[in-house]
Amino acid sequence: MSNRVILILAVSAIMTAGCQQSDEANQSVTGNVQGTNAKAGEVPKGSIGQALAGSNEHSTLVQAVKAAGLEATLAGSQPYTLFAPNNAAFGKLPGGSADELMKSESKARLTALITNHLVPGVVTNEDLSRAIERGGGKTQLATMGGSTLTISKEGNALVVTDAKGGKARVKGAETLQSNGVVHSVDGILSSG
């Protein structure tokens, strides 16, 4: 066999091995997505903003996002994880506080409140559970508002604790969207 034929066979073998490794890597990524309730290779079509708009449990948050001018943020392509206070969470605020937050003069305070529930990147329940296990019972996430949330477990429930010690429980299943993930929570988290 000539050196030229040997060289061609060697290059062919390297290219075939590279393609197989690439396929394995793609299957691994698809496997991670499947862990978040998406079908293999399927990317959810709606944004976080669209998921909230379609949720009866988050109508007050939708109003707050509009009042704070954060609609474009939750509809954009930047990936986020939102710990979304449900309507009952807003109802727990002291008398009339939710209405006061929606006023234009409270925009800065409202923006700080919402961005304290927003974390850059996609963090699923599975990711949180693994991080809690590695962290000896808790993990911390930095918010877009500049504060830190501590995530832990109480029984099987994920609990989010803010800088002031306020707690909110993650309620129901996460919702994976095209630009991130939504975790519904039953409390409002403070920015510290």
User: pLDDT in tens for each of the 192 residues of the chain?
Assistant: 444 433 333 333 333 333 333 333 222 222 222 233 444 455 677 999 999 999 999 999 999 999 999 999 999 999 999 999 999 999 998 877 888 999 999 999 999 999 999 999 999 999 999 999 999 999 999 999 999 999 999 998 999 999 999 999 999 999 999 999 999 999 999 866
pLDDT computed for residue 44 by the predictor: 72
* Cβ-contact 83, 183 below 8 angstroms: yes
Q: What DSSP assignment string belongs to the chain?
A: --HHHHHHHHHHHHHHHHHHHHHHHHHHHHHHHHTTTPPTT----S-HHHHHHT-GGGHHHHHHHHHHT-HHHHHSSS-EEEEEE-HHHHHTSSTTHHHHHTSGGGHHHHHHHHHTTEEES---HHHHHHHHHHTTSEEEEE-TTS-EEEEEEETTEEEEE-TTS-EEEB-S--EEETTEEEEEESSPPP--
pLDDT computed for residue 97 by the predictor: 86
Q: Where are the domains of the chain?
A: 1-34, 48-185
pLDDT computed for residue 175 by the predictor: 94
Quote the radius of gyration of the chain (alpha carbons, Å).
22
Residue 75 and residue 93: Cα distance in Å, rounded? Answer: 27
Residue 122 and residue 36: Cα distance in Å, rounded? Answer: 10
Kind and range of the H or E run holding 115:
helix 107-115
Domain 48-185 homologous superfamily, CATH: FAS1 domain (2.30.180.10)
pLDDT computed for residue 62 by the predictor: 97
pLDDT computed for residue 32 by the predictor: 26
pLDDT computed for residue 45 by the predictor: 77
